[in-house]
Chains A and B, each alone.
Chain A
Amino acid sequence: NAGVTQTPKFRVLKTGQSMTLLCAQDMNHEYMYWYRQDPGMGLRLIHYSVGEGTTAKGEVPDGYNVSRLKKQNFLLGLESAAPSQTSVYFCASREGHRETQYFGPGTRLLVL
């Protein structure tokens, strides 16, 4: 039981490049989330999903897209990276009837 995993762990992009961050969970959780964490800002919700095939916007969705084609995977895409998207990205999941969230180890993204 690996819990929540994230790929890649670290990435450097140039402005304008695109990439996809992958989150996978093996706990059969319904809910999945993407957050970004910046110094002094705490965790901010980007997008979330309440089940396979569904996604919704969070607090800071601009510049990001997501997909949940399979229950266990939640993908976060950056179509045209900007320096303002330099951050640490955390994925999390939880069961439908419980409130505890389980986090992945994070992806550190640097956009030059």
Chain B
Amino acid sequence: RKEVEQDPGPFNVPEGATVAFNCTYSNSASQSFFWYRQDCRKEPKLLMSVYSSGNEDGRFTAQLNRASQYISLLIRDSKLSDSATYLCVVPPTDSWGKLQFGAGTQVVVTP
């Protein structure tokens, strides 16, 4: 089993709709998590961090389910500009700093 797994999608979402997708992780000791956004042919950029049960930033909500070892990202009122690949990232539990990246979930928002 991969350490971080994501549904690759694509999730095709009408503009204005809500979309949600999950990321499962294998290391039960992981304490914090991140969602990065990557636009086509660009570098990944931090979208939001998840340190406890969840986090909300505007139209974006991340939730953590420790019992089932997954985190989710929900996007409300989708905009065309939300079209991107969303990477789930699990930090290391040691101090050596090797992040574990999921392969990403592609979201396509259509007019």
Contact = CB atoms under 8 A, between A and B. Distances in A.
Interface of A: 31, 40-43, 45, 48, 50, 56, 58, 88, 90, 94, 99-101, 103-106
B103 A42 contact: yes
Contacts, number: 42
B99 A99 contact: yes
Interface string B30-52: 00101000000111111001000
B97 A103 contact: no
Interface in B74-108: 87, 91, 96-99, 101-104
A23 to B, nearest CB: 12
Contact of B97 (A90, A94, A105): A94
Contacts of B46: 100-101
Interface in B54-75: none
A95 B105 CA distance: 27
B8 interface: yes
Nearest to B6: A42
Given A42-B104, A43-B87, A101 B43 contact: no
B97 A48 contact: yes
A88 B43 CA distance: 10
